[in-house]
Each structure stands twice: as C-alpha cells, then as structure tokens.
Amino acid sequence: MKRIHYILPGIVAFILSAALLIVYHFWVKKSPRTFKIEHVNSTPAGKAVFTLDNNGDVIPLDFTRVAENVMDAVVHVKSTSTSRNRGNAEAMPDLFRDFFRDNPDLFRRFDDGGKPMPQVGTGSGVIIEPDGYIVTNNHVIADADDIEVTLYDNRSYKATVVGTDPTTDLALIRIKESDLPALPFVNSDQVKVGEWVMAVGNPFNLTSTVTAGIVSAKGRNINILREQYSVESFIQTDAAINPGNSGGALVNLDGGLIGINTAIASNTGSYAGYGFAVPANIVSKVVEDLMKYGVVQRGVLGVMIRTVDGNLAKEKDLPLTRGAYVDSLLENSAAAAAGIKSGDIIIAVNGAEVISSPNLQELIARHRPGDKVEVKVNRKGTERTFDVTLNNRRGNTDLVKKEHLDVLSMLGADFENLDEKTTKKLGIDGGVKVKSLYAGKLRRNTQMQEGFIITKVDGKSIRSVDDLAKALQGRKGGVMLEGVYENLPGTQYYAFGM
C-alpha cells in the first residue's frame, strides 16, 4: 500500500508535465509573440528636479519654458569678406604703381588681377531691441563686406554695423525690421557661481541650439583679447559652447540675458569643458555708448595693476590677499590726481568689492570720461576712500569724437601731438608721434615701429592728430605716410591700403 501511495502522485505529475509540453509546442511556440507597449506622457524625474529662485522659493527646474522664450531672440549671423590672393596694384599709391608698371614681370607677380576670394564666417547674435538692434561679437563681423542675419523663423535680412568695440569683442548691428522679440538685460553682478544657465546659439551652423550648465566662475581673464586696453572679466560656464556660438546668449532660468557668449578654453578649437561670456553689465554699457555716441566712451583710472594673491602679499608684505595692487601710476593719471599712490590696494569701487584686476577693469569700464567714482584702497593696513574723476586714454575728460576714433582705430595705433621741444630738436614744423601699436593696418601691412613721427600724408603736411584724422577720413585706396624717427637718420616711408 505504501508503494502505491508514492507511485500514484508521480504518475499524475508526469501526465500533467507531458500535457503542458504538448500545449506549449502546439499553441504557445507556434503562435506569434506579442509585446505590450505603454506610452508614458511625462517622465517622473522631470517633475522631481527643483531649484531655488532669487527669493529662495523652490521651483521646478524646467529648461523647456526658458528655451521657448529665448530662441526667437537669438539669430544666425553670416559675414562675408573679400580678400585677394597676393595683391592688387590698384590699391597702391601712384609712386608704387608707377614703379611696378616699369617692371612688368614684378607687376604680374604682385597683382592677381583683382580676383576676389570670398571668406565666410558664421556666428550668433541677440536681439536686444524690437526695432532690429542686435548685439554680437566683434570677431564675428570684423572686416565683413556683407552681413546677413537669419531669424529663428528663417526670415533673412542684410544688416548694417552701428558700431564695434574690439576691447570687449562686442559689436552692434541692425536690420530693417520692427516688432521683433528681444531679450531683457539682467544685472550680471547678481549672478552667482553655481547658478543654472543656458547657452543659446548656432554652433557649427546648427541653428537654434540650446545647452545647459551652471556658472562656474566670475571675473575670469583668459588673455584672449589682444587689443590694447582690452577688458576681460568673463562669466565662466560649463554649458557647452562651440564655434558658431560666438555672439549668442547666456541666459538665466527667467530668460534674462546675463552675458554674450564669446570664447572657449580649448586646445582643439572645440568645446572642452568651459565657455566664457561678456557680462551683461558691460554689454549694456557698450551698447548704450554705440547707440548714443557711435563709439564706446571708456573712462580710465590711469594705473598699472596686478591681482593680489598669496605670493604678491608675501613679496610686498601686504595686509590682504585679495584686491588690485597699484604697481605704478601713468602720466596724467586720474587716480594720482585724486591721491591714490603706488603700493595701494584697491578694494572697492562705488561700494562694489574688488577681488582681482579683471574685476576692477570691469567696474571701471562701465563708466565714461568725466564720471566720478568712489575708490576705496587699503594703504599699509589703513582703509582710505578717494573720489576719482575718470580720464580718457589721452589723459583728459573729453568724450571721443566718432569720426576720429573710427579711422585711427583702423590703423591700430595711439597717437599724440609732437611736443615743441622735439619739434625744434628735429628741425621740423610739427608732426604726430605713434605712441603704441596694436592690431590694425599699420602693424599688419607695414614695418612701422613705435616712436615714428608722421609729418606728411600723401605729401600733405600733418601737425596734429586732428590733421591726421582729417587726411585719412573717407580715404580709399593707397596711402603714403612720410616721417622720421628721433634716433634714426633720414626720412622714412610707409604705404598701406585703406
């Protein structure tokens, strides 16, 4: 009986297993497989990410709303310039054209027959006024013969240049249209490290691209602007910025413009972790000047400065490890006139803390010649405050005239009237001395050295900077500069094309 009790359940289990195998083989295995697909309308994680607003209130971290609000105001900018392969004899002064024409073989080797070589560059821009004003980078439209702007809705327009400022790498252009979407400026001083931001632009000709990240640092100087008196106090971000993003918008989560994307830190030319934007407070000052004066009016303290750090504090026995150390004072220095001395540490301007040299440059760059600023310094452990009336680069408080600045900036030099003592020493009637050279036509196209004294332009006597500007204003083609050096014999000549 016992044996039957164990065998019977085994027989039943065997029969059931066999039945299941038969059902699987003839029904399940031969039937088509089916999959159940569920459509999820929203991801739970999308509503689980939060951040804080300026009031400290918890709000959802939603990039889609910001993107929708800002993309309409960011444009694609295409600039076209025309260069020549080797040279164009028609752009030379008569003296040189005659020389080449007397040497036909040399003339043919020099002149390319005027064959144009178009060069196309692309970037981004931000609409800041509904009536067509757009801010971009100077390097996006520099030397352009033609500028084309394409809006987010694919409408295209030709743009004209209102003004440029190479010292901040900003430019203002305009298209003939109205009722355009525009981004509002925000106070970039209130931007905090760690704050969420979005970069909007057109990298690699991929229109309307949005990336997100945080503010990594403020007041960065990366020595990318080669212009004299350049101002670098960038907002650093890890939002991806690539070639083509230049001139685009860096915005906060309210859609406010906190900076204009300008540069990247990279060994390859592509994004490698960090991008840099010109702060909105600098952008708004430059734009206001370009609209009102046609040129940027830049106030200066007239000091040579260094960022205070631990090493400098140890070297100079300074009481601080932050601020801008005054190394020396320039001629006609506004700071010196107010009482600031070499060795002082500038720690605040109009109540805003100064933590580095780039930071000080940014704060002063927001002002014009003639503006008064309150400068606080630490002098050997004692804080003192001075009221400084800012000068222009020439050492006075006059506003710069647009017609002079445009043509002289094109040359890439700073000029000053020759003093009477030097005039008598050289036995000349007058002239204009080249104080310094930077990026421009003179450095690029001639072998001129600093200290050259211009006495004539195309044979016409020059006795002042005003004379020089008037002689070059509106000129096209070749220009011949004639002059002397104080310590070199004979007359020197330099020719270039306008």
Q: Which residues are catalytic?
A: 139, 169, 246
Query: Do residues 364 and 390 touch, judged by C-beta distance below 8 A?
Result: yes
Query: Do residues 63 and 214 touch, judged by C-beta distance below 8 A?
Result: no
- In b/e form, how buried is each residue of 339-372, taking b as 16+ CB within 10 angstroms? ebeeebbbbbbeeeebbbbbbbbbbbbbbbbeee
Give the whole-angstrom CA distance, residue 343 versus residue 464: 36
Instruction: Indicate the helix (H) or strand (E) that contains 404.
Output: helix 402-411
User: Which CA distances in Å does 339 have to 41, 110, 336?
Assistant: 68, 57, 5
Q: Phi first, then psi: what are they for 277, rounded to 5°?
A: -130, 145
Instruction: Tell which residue, 418, 362, 402, has the closest CA to residue 229.
Output: 362
* Both structure tokens of 467: 């004379």
Non-local CB neighbours of 234 within 8 Å, separated by 6+ positions: 219, 220, 221, 222, 259, 262, 263, 276, 277, 278, 279
Give the whole-angstrom CA distance, residue 101 versus residue 95: 10
User: Which CA distances in Å does 409 have to 40, 336, 455?
Assistant: 60, 27, 19
Instruction: Tell which residue, 335, 337, 330, 359, has the closest CA to residue 347.
Output: 359
Dihedral over Cα of 48, 53, 58, 60: its sign: negative
Instruction: Tell which residue, 201, 205, 199, 200, has the closest CA to residue 120.
Output: 205
Instruction: Indicate the helix (H) or strand (E) that contains 98.
Output: helix 94-101
Instruction: Tell which residue, 343, 352, 207, 376, has the closest CA to residue 281.
Output: 352
Query: Do residues 141 and 161 touch, judged by C-beta distance below 8 A?
Result: yes
Give the whole-angstrom CA distance, residue 400 versus residue 295: 8
Local structure of residue 152 (DSSP, 8 states): T
Query: Do residues 70 and 249 touch, judged by C-beta distance below 8 A?
Result: yes
Q: Phi first, then psi: what are they for 310, rounded to 5°?
A: -60, -40
* Both structure tokens of 26: 């003839």
